[in-house]
Amino acid sequence: MTGAGNNIPFYEMFHIDGGNFTNAGSISSQVKKILMRAGFSHGVIRRTSIATFEAEMNVICYANRGNISLFITSDSLKIVVEDEGVGIPDVNLAMKEGYSTASEKIHELGFGAGMGLSNIKNHTDGMILTSKIGQGTHLEFVISLEGKDKEKVAPLFAARG
Partner 1 sequence: MKLREIRDILDAELITGDANLDKEIKYVNAADLISDVLAYSTGPGALLITGIVHSQVIYAANTIELGAILFVRGKRPNEATLQLAVENHIPLLTTRYIMFETCGRLYQLGMRACIEKVKNDRGGK
Q: Concatenated DSSP letters for 102-161?
A: --HHHHHTT--SS-HHHHHHHHSSEEEEEEETTTEEEEEEEEE--THHHHTHHHHHHHH-
Does 49 participate in binding partner 1 (rule CB under 8 A)? Answer: yes
Write phi, then psi, for 65 (nearest 5 degrees).
Answer: -160, 165
For partner 1, which residue of 11, 116, 131, 156 counts as binding (CB under 8 A)? Answer: 116
CB of 158 to partner 1, least distance (A): 29
149 makes contact with partner 1 (CB under 8 A)? no
What letter does residue 89 receive in the DSSP assignment? S
**Segment contacting partner 1 (CB under 8 A): 8-16, 43-51, 67-75, 81-89?**
43-51
Candidates 20, 23, 135, 144: give the one binding partner 1 (CB under 8 A).
Answer: 23
Q: How far is the CB of 84 from partner 1 (least distance, A)?
A: 22
CB 4 → partner 1: shortest distance, Å?
25
Nearest approach in angstroms of CB 61 to partner 1 is 11
Show the CA angle centred on residue 69, arms to residues 131 and 56, nearest 5°: 65
